[in-house]
Amino acid sequence: MTNQMDNNNNGVFYEIILKARIRIARMGEKDIFNWWDAEAQSEGGLFALKRLFKNTYYWAAMEVSMRAAMSKIDGLLKEGTDYFHLFNLIPELDSKVWDLFFQLKRENKNHNSYFFEINDENKPFNKIFQDFEISEDILEKMRKIQKDLMNPSVVVLGTLKKEELEKLEAKNEILKLLIAGFALGSNNKLIIPTYRII
């Protein structure tokens, strides 16, 4: 994935968001960090889904995980509709990410580059940092934010103007922070990195 985060190609940008969602969703499942009520991408979840979706069970598992993550996060943020986060971007971007997912699922593309195999459960974020080119500078920003963390669930990384959201493809650091921010969480402790829209 060399330099993909710096590539302004829209297709690559949506693919990065989709992969990040799938991987964060997997890490939040009950058998890893227990952030949401799903185990679709676990060994047991895949076994059960294979009986229902013989050919596309990996894609079904990824969808269930992402929807569980979205539902949990939406529930925690129900009071504020002005939060912008990895699982709730502007409608135009969300639509394109889901279009890509359903296209891949329909075509039953090879799931290997999307499905997140976790080999070292103690450090599952290391692979995410590597795959999405999360730099030490980004991690240091997150560590500083963690020191000032007041709300146990939500981290507001800053504010964004609506016109900035339309050009998100050019704002790689925002996307990297939205991905890396989940690393503030731990077992049974979900941290949602967000921006406020002004």
What pLDDT, on the 0 to 100 scale, is given for residue 61? Answer: 94
Q: Which runs of consecutive H residues, i.e. helices, occur in 107-165?
A: 124-131, 136-147, 162-165
Q: Is residue 174 part of a domain?
A: yes
pLDDT at 108: 82
CB contact set of 59 (below 8 Å; sequence gap of 6+): 53, 101, 104, 105, 108, 111
Domain-embedded: residue 1: no
Share the mean pLDDT of the chain: 83
Q: Is 39 domain-assigned?
A: yes
Tokens of 1: 């994935």
Give yes or no for a contact between 144 and 183, defined as CB atoms under 8 angstroms apart. no
What are the tens digits of pLDDT across the range 5-43? 434 456 888 999 999 999 999 999 999 999 999 999 888
φ/ψ (deg, to 5) at 196:
-95, 140
Rounded Cα gap, residues 144 and 197, in angstroms: 22
pLDDT in tens, 130-158: 788 888 888 888 877 776 665 568 888 88
Residue 3 lies in a domain: no
Based on the structure, what is the number of domains in the chain? 1
In a domain, 114, yes or no: yes
Range of the domain at 52: 8-197
Residue 2 lies in a domain: no
